Structure 1
Amino acid sequence: MSNIIKVSKEDIIYHIKISCQIPSLLEAIATRKIITETAEKEGIVIEIAELQQSADNLRLANNLIKAEDTWAWLQKHYLSLDNFEEIAHLNLVSAKLAHHLFADKVEPFFYAHQLDYSAAVTYEVILDDEDLSLEIFYALQEGEISFQEVARQYIQNPEIRRAGGYQGIRKRSDFRPEIASAVFASHPPEVLKPIITPKGAHLIIVEEIIEPQLNDPTRVVILSDLFTNWLKEKISKLEIVATLGDDTNSSSSA
């Protein structure tokens, strides 16, 4: 058998079809068309310096430090330099369109949904035995055992065990509703009474509640969410039809 396998365009299209990727691919293509057409309609202008910066950002995001890195990346993805510029251009158009449409809506959205941007620093151990979790809870309150000791004894995942059950900084939406209610009503530092979910009995220490702030990272998240939701709404109103060059057409009513 030869060490070379030749793959045609027809092979690629066929594989996309039988791996059921066409719907997501059509949605991605429709999204690109919506962005470019809306940007043109709204008069979005791209400056040369902005495009160069977008290209630099694309290289940085893909760790393309040297020229040979870029060439290798282009070859791997079957792209030309023109394609690379097109990707950078689309990234820039998307960012500028998002800012154009929603920059003035970020602040009102934040204050209308302020609680959603609260965050908490927590440590967690999940037990199978509710009675045991209560015993450990009372032992923690009495100072008979440390949470680090509980984590070492009952957490299976080595990395989480070494970190003492540390869960990082998590937004309200990252928690199950019943856990979020207890976490954000706590007075840190506080050990919460075990919370029962289908996963088990959750022993949680709330170390800190981080009040929401409309800083640059939060602005970026909100702007991205607003733009993404706008695109999804646009897609939902479309019927996408693909002509694949055979007797099978793909139609998607999003």
Structure 2
Amino acid sequence: MNPSLEVGNIVITQENIFSFLAEKQMIAPLAKEIILDSAIEPIECTPEETAMAEQQFFMQMQLNPQDTEKLKIWLEKNYLTREQLQKRILRGIKLEKYKEKTWGTELQNYYLKRKKQLDKIVYSLIRTRNAGEAQELYFRACEGEKEFTELARQHSQGAEAETGGLIGPVELNVPHPEIAQRLMTSQPGQVLPPCRIGEWVVVLRLEKYIAAQLDQNMRRRLLDELFNSWLSETIQKQVKFNFELPEVLSS
């Protein structure tokens, strides 16, 4: 008997499953899972890692692995064999070990390439559409007639007025490139002359420059970046479609 899945009055069979996957946009996610399974297959887990992963999984699912009857019911409900469950339990650990094994040695160089975008800044901004007003506010801020914060609250025309012009900390790739470039070459506390950014004329002051550090969180983030880049490229290269498009789509 050919396997099938009934959901209400819909019957999914070998003949129509591809069209269902395409319609529900599940082909790419399925391809991703297949590629990952193949990549992490050779990765080994220590007995300690296995035991810890199993303990965490069963606690999360509120299952007792010693209660074989309840475990059997859970497996049947989730259409899994015990072997498939074991693969699912170890998948996260294997994936992290695969990332470290594949890209760990090149992480330092990648970090140095990305560092300028990873550094953070805290800055203050006043924006107006009137160039003359921006120039006046710049002089008032430089002369100390009023605090930059007060001037921003009173005159800035963006959402930053609510915070006294204060923005950040944000990574250097977040602000407009012209703003980022000007702040990178300034000193904390320095008020910069007005410059036009699109429809706005802005007055800037760098408050703080925060250099990125290659700590554990940064390592994890950069490994994920390298991994996701590899995964996208691999999906593009390896996924091939061998089917005929419906006439309405191919015309």
> Could you state the TM-score of these two structures normalised by the residue count of structure 2?
0.69
What letter is aligned with 2:183? V
Matched, 1:234 2:222: no
Which secondary structure state, in structure 2, belongs to the residue aligned with residue 45 of structure 1?
A: coil
Q: 1:201 to 1:53 in 2, by over 3 A?
A: farther
What letter is aligned with 1:38? A
Q: 1:26 to 1:107 in 2, by over 3 A?
A: same
What letter is aligned with 1:138? F
Q: 1:99 to 1:131 in 2, by over 3 A?
A: same
Q: 1:156 to 1:247 in 2, by over 3 A?
A: closer
* Distance in 1 of aligned mates of 2:162 and 2:102: 46
* Distance in 2 of aligned mates of 1:189 and 1:163: 17
- Residue 34 of structure 1 is matched in structure 2 by 35
Report if the CA contact (8 A) 1:54-1:91 is conserved. no
Alpha-carbon shift at residue 202 of structure 1 (Å): 2.5
Report if the CA contact (8 A) 1:55-1:85 is conserved. no
Matched, 1:51 2:57: no
- 1:203-242 Cα deviation digits (max 9, x unpaired): 2221111123222222122111111111122122134438
- Residue 179 of structure 1 is matched in structure 2 by 179
Q: Say which one has the larger Rg.
A: 2
Report if the CA contact (8 A) 1:116-1:171 is conserved. yes
* Distance in 1 of aligned mates of 2:135 and 2:112: 38
- Residue 95 of structure 1 is matched in structure 2 by 96
Report if the CA contact (8 A) 2:152-2:164 is conserved. yes
Matched, 1:204 2:204: yes
What letter is aligned with 1:48? T
Matched, 1:220 2:220: yes
What letter is aligned with 1:185? T
Alpha-carbon shift at residue 156 of structure 1 (Å): 5.0
Matched, 1:188 2:188: yes
The number of aligned residues is 216
> Could you state the TM-score of these two structures normalised by the residue count of structure 1?
0.68
Report if the CA contact (8 A) 1:54-1:92 is conserved. no
* Distance in 1 of aligned mates of 2:197 and 2:55: 48
Matched, 1:132 2:133: yes
* Distance in 2 of aligned mates of 1:206 and 1:170: 12
Q: CA RMSD in A?
A: 3.7
> Identity over the aligned pairs, expressed in percent?
19
Alpha-carbon shift at residue 52 of structure 1 (Å): 3.8
